[in-house]
Each structure stands twice: as structure tokens, then as C-alpha cells.
Amino acid sequence: MPFSQMFRNTLNGSYLLYASTILLSAFLLFAVQPIAGKHLLPWFGGSSSVWATSLLFFTSLLFVGYLYVFLLTRYGGQRQAQIHAMIVFLGTSVALISYLGWGSLFPPLLAIVGADAPPAQNLLVALLIALGAPYFLLSTTGPLLQYWYGTSSHNESSGQSPREPYKLYALSNFGSLLALVLYPFAIEPAISLVREEQWWMWLFFLYALLCALVCVAAYRLRHAVVATSETLISIAPTRIFIWTALAALPAFLLVASTTHLTQVIAPVPLLWVLPLMLYLVTFILAFAGRGSSIFVPLLWLLSVIAAYWYIPYNFGDIVLQIGSSLLVLFFAGLACHAKLYEMRPPTGQLPLFYVLVSFGGMLGTLCASLIAPLIFPDFWEFPLGIALSAVVAAALLSELFFPRILNNEKIRLLRVAFAIFSCILFLQVVLDDDAIPTISSRNFYGNVQVRFDEDTTRLMHGTTLHGTQYNAQKWANIPTTYYSETSGAGLSIREAQMRQGERGVRVAVVGLGTGTIASYCRPGDTYVFYEIDARVQDIATKYFSYLSHCKDAEVRIGDGRILLEHERADGQLGAYDVILVDAFSDDTIPVHLMTAQAVDLYRVHLRGESGIIAVHTSNRYLDLPPIVMRIALALGLNATVIQDEGGGPGASSSQWVLLTPDGSIFASSVFKDANSWLPEPSEVLWTDDFTSILHVLDVPLPWAK
């Protein structure tokens, strides 16, 4: 048999070739997302909006890729193969040039991030420049290869019927799920960021090779893959709307439930993985034909009732809150995606079907990630998602679950009444008033609330207190919460003041909050706050008076590490006696502020060997002192942990790790009565090239005593 004939027989409709290419492309699509996150988070903070905006980019580019496939299938089979082969070559070339040009998929962000542009815009531009070409190529793979596979045996001479291509979509989502699970639990803890990119590039080139083989197969089978009139067939507007809506609602719930879990209930690291895993699992089950049970809408409706019951935050019910939220997402995804699979069109209409599905996913993500923060002052998108879920679940609920005495007309009226009732309950959540005067503000960096109690004014970020000030004038300048005089921050400043005497001390604070640290300010002292969110400066100035107490207090807007890097480049070194690092959003840590390179940057900004770096490590879910101790060991710094129970007025328990080049500082009388201890250093060293949340995850069980 001639080699060309053997080659044709091997590639003709080969399920293994199509399946392996689709599986690898889906794996690479999801594997590159956390890699991008590690590059971009230092520039955009650690808020959930970074994740939500990134998800918008990925779903939008997925839509563009699916739209390309739809347009491509209007051409004949050989022309399709030729055009896509060119796209494969261009996408691979761009990725290779980028990697060889700056040793990374990502260009230097200083060159592309605008100082005055909105952070969401900067993030989207950075993602587009870094990943636009390879991600677009990867996004085209699933629908195009499904179309080619489904039509490869459909020609008049063979007499064969079209193959079922939609099962390959379940395989595609399995590849995405595999990447999602492996990255935080196997890849990140074992491989540096540089190695991650290298492995990704090699796998991307392998994917490009497989894709080229598929193009060759499609070109050789000149009668097998053809553009048919079915791809342009007119589809009823109602069907277009239903396809789009069924894809949009689970995507909206994915972002809304993730924001609800990580911002309102429990900002546990890696918790965001669970909603995305369940979302992908619903696609896998539905497109494998296993989600069509009439009980799925019923279970969805019951989960909606449970989730509504547990909407008000209560730490004692945290497990039930998380569980009910995840169940809503799971059954919503399963019901909607199973309905999509049930309504799937013939193979000829497959490209248009996926265009509408991807458009729905993009639309749902857009509404939850960008539009909701613009129009909602608080996290209301999840209650809205619950209300929409109740309406759709009731609409999908089988008539078998209604009393037999009700006819079809009465059942329809009952569904409408339930929809109205659901909307009323949503409005009740939105208009709920806990009797405490509150000003709520929300932007890209999350939701903050200023709460006016009878005796104090408090600043909340999610469920975490970020500062308190007494309303009475005589108590207004007392350092409260985590910054009391017996805290690690208070002891560090008091020691610097004692050492400097009448000379002014210079203090840098990464993270502003209410500006409580300025309460330590004396005449001649200088306090410089580095704050990424300009809104926080407005709040600290308008509703709190700590900053006004310090004549030489200055707020510099931007990421603290990036601003300090700029100051080092400008020769502004050795400026501070104390550097306090406390820029956490809720309990989510910006890891780029806690790497060896970051701490080394803080060290060069100390005014002398007796300077102190104080890192706030209070956290409900992470055991951070061993990480900081390991960094201190690597940099030759002396360290101690100050554990304070916060016994003074307005004080909270806190944990700070203090670092200094001169270990004799800790023998000062200021630290004499401090509750200090030394943990065992971590086995791993956090660097800009390697961090792993898994090594420090310490999630307490709510029922544990």
C-alpha cells in the first residue's frame, strides 16, 4: 500500500487524532490562565475583580474563536484547511517570537500598562498583548475539529451518516478540568514559574503539530469536509435566544457565586477553584448525555431555596453557606447545559450553535464581572442569580411535580406567580437594612463599607475589619485594631521613636486602610502610605481623622511594591526607619508582596541596620510566619513573631513578623514584655518565580473547638 494511502487511512476521521488535539488544546487553555495570573496580579492587586475581568477576557476571546470557526465553515473543505493551517502558523509564530523576544509569554508590563487608564482596561490590554494570538488559536480548536469530525464521513459517495461530534465537547471540558485540578495541587507546588512557561510552550508546539496534521487530513479528504447550506440555515429567533440564555445564566452564576464565596463568605485561597470545577463538570456530564433527568430542575429549585436561606453571612453556618451556593451553581449548570445538549442542532449548524453558546457565556461573564460592580454598590449579583435561578428552574420543572388537579393554564400561572415572588425576595435582600448607618462603595478592587456605630466608625472590606476609630474626640487618636501599642506594628514604631529621640522618624506603610498608623505620628515624623485603590484614600480622609493628625502624612497611589521599585530606580533609597506591610484585601494576600525579592526591596529602603520591616500575618486561613521566617533566613535577616491579644481599648488580636538586619533591636526594652516566638522556617522559599498557597493553607473547621 502506498504511503500516501496509509497516511490517508490513518487520518481519515481518526477519533484519536481529533480527540487528543481537542484534549490538549483545552488543557493549555486553562493551564495558561493561572500562569497569567502570577504575572499580572502584582500590577492589579489581589481582588476578585482581577479574576472576574480575566475570565471576561478568556470568554470573549473564546467567542471570537468560535465566530471565526463559523465564518470559516462557509468555505469549501480544502479552503478551510488552508486558511486554518495559516492561522496555526501565525499563532505559533507570534508565541515563539514573544517567548524568544523577552524570555516569557508576557512582555514587560511597564510598556503596556497605562498609568491613568482604568485597571480593568489595563488588565484586558495586558492579556490581549500577551496571550491574544495563542489563546485565539487554542479557542478555535474545539468547535472546528468537532465540525470536521462530524462531517468527515458525510459525503454522497460513501453513503455514511454524520458522526456524533458533541461528545468531543465533553472531552474538551475534561481537559480544562484536568488543568484546573493539576495546577494548584501538582504543578504550582513543584515547578517554578519559568519552568511552567517552558513546559506550556513545548506542549503548545506539540498541539500546533497535531493541529497541522488535522489540517493535512482535512485537505486530503477533499470531498469529506464541505461547507453545507446547513451552516447558513435560518434558525428561529426564539431558539437563538434560548441557546444564548441557557449559556449565559450558568456563566453569570459562576462569577457571581465565586465573588459571593470569596468576598462575602470566606476568602479562603483556592476556594475559587471549586465553582469553576463544578461549572466544567456540568458541561462534561451534560454533553455526555447524563444530565437530562426530570429531577435536576427540582434539585436546582431546592438548592435555590437553601441558598436564599443562608444568604446573610454567619460564620457558624459557613459550611452550609458554601455548600448551598455551590449546589445552586452545579444544578443550574447541569440543567441549562443538559437542555443545550438536548437542543443541539445537526452537525452542519454546529459552528453557529457554539457561537451562540460562547456569546452567552461571554454575556453572562460580562454582566457579573464588569456591569454588576458598576451598578451595584454591594455584592448583589449572587442574590440576583438566585432569583433568576428560581424563575428558570420553575420554568423547566416537569409538570409531573405539580398537583394533577391543575391544568396547563393554571400551571403556567403558578410559574409566573413564583417568578414574581422570587423577584420580591431579591428586592427584600437588596433593601435589607441592619439598622446600622452604612456607606457602601464598590469598584474594581472590591466592596468596602463605612459603618457608623454609636461609639465608633468602622471600615470593612468584605467580612474583615480594616480599621476602627472612636467617635469621641478624646479617644479619636488611639491606635486601634491590629495597630495597638502592644502590636508588632506599634512596638516597631515605638522602638524607632525611642532610638531616634527628638529626630523625626520616617515610616512607610504598604496599605492605607483608615490610616490608623498615623496616630503614632509626632511633630517632625513623616508617614508615607502606599495604596493601590484611590477610593480608600478618599474614605480615610473623609470619614476618619487619623491622617489629619499627622502634618507630614503622604499617600502615594499605586501598588506598593511597584512604587518602591520606581523609587529605587530613581535612587531614593534608605528613606525609612520602619516599613509596615499590610496590604491584604480581606484575607487574600498579594503574594508578590511576600517574596524574597519583595523583602529584599524593603530592606534597601531602610535607613540603617536598625530599621525594621513589619509584615502583618494575621490570617484566618494561611499560616504565613514560616514563609516570612524562611525569607529572613535566605536574606540573612533577624526575625521574631509578635503575637498580641489586643487587650487595650479598641484593640484586636494580631500577628506581625518583624525583620531587621540588627538582631540586637529585639533586646530593646520596648520588646521586653512582648509575646514573641520563633516558628520553624518553611521548607520552601517564596520568590517571584515560585510561590504556592498549598504550602501555607491552614483552613480551620467552623465546628472545631
Q: Would you say 451 and 539 are in contact if contact means Cβ atoms under 8 Å apart?
A: no
Q: Would 9-227 and 235-432 be classified into the same CATH topology?
A: yes
Q: Report the share of the chain in percent with pLDDT over 70.
A: 86
CA angle 285, 288, 294 (to 5 degrees): 60
Distance of alpha carbon 575 from alpha carbon 578, whole angstroms: 9
Q: Would you say 365 and 49 are in contact if contact means Cβ atoms under 8 Å apart?
A: no
pLDDT at 638 over 50: yes
Query: Domain 9-227 belongs to what topology?
Result: Growth Hormone; Chain: A; (1.20.1250)
pLDDT bracket for residue 603 (50, 70, 90): very high
* Residue from 251, 286, 279 nearest 362 by CA: 251
Average pLDDT, the chain: 83
Q: Which CATH class is domain 235-432?
A: mainly alpha
Specify which of 30-44, 395-409, 614-628, 630-644 reaches the highest per-range mean pLDDT: 630-644
pLDDT, one tens digit per residue, over 117-127 is 677 777 888 88
Q: CB neighbours of 129 closer than 8 A, spacing ≥ 6? A: 107, 112
* Residue from 184, 66, 183, 59 nearest 124 by CA: 59
Domain ranges (residues) in the chain:
9-227, 235-432, 478-695
Distance of alpha carbon 319 from alpha carbon 310, whole angstroms: 10
pLDDT at 289: 87
pLDDT at 463: 67
Which grid coordinates belong to 13? Answer: 476521521
pLDDT, one tens digit per residue, over 280-334 is 999 999 999 888 888 998 899 888 888 888 776 665 567 788 888 899 999 999 9
pLDDT at 153 over 80: no
Lowest mean pLDDT across 93-97, 292-296, 690-694: 690-694
Sheet with 553-557, edge to edge strand ranges: 553-557, 526-531, 506-510, 578-581, 612-616, 654-660, 638-644, 676-677
pLDDT, one tens digit per residue, over 495-523 is 999 998 888 899 999 989 899 999 999 99
Which grid coordinates belong to 81? Answer: 484547511
Lowest mean pLDDT across 44-53, 511-520, 532-541: 44-53
Distance of alpha carbon 446 from alpha carbon 46, whole angstroms: 10
* Residue from 215, 223, 211, 216 nearest 76 by CA: 223
Q: Which CATH superfamily is domain 478-695 in?
A: Vaccinia Virus protein VP39 (3.40.50.150)
Q: Mean pLDDT throughout 24-53?
A: 77
pLDDT bracket for residue 233 (50, 70, 90): low
Cα separation values, 244 from 146, 170, 266, 361, 494, Å:
20, 19, 32, 8, 61
φ, ψ (nearest 5 deg) of residue 27: -60, -45
pLDDT at 625: 92
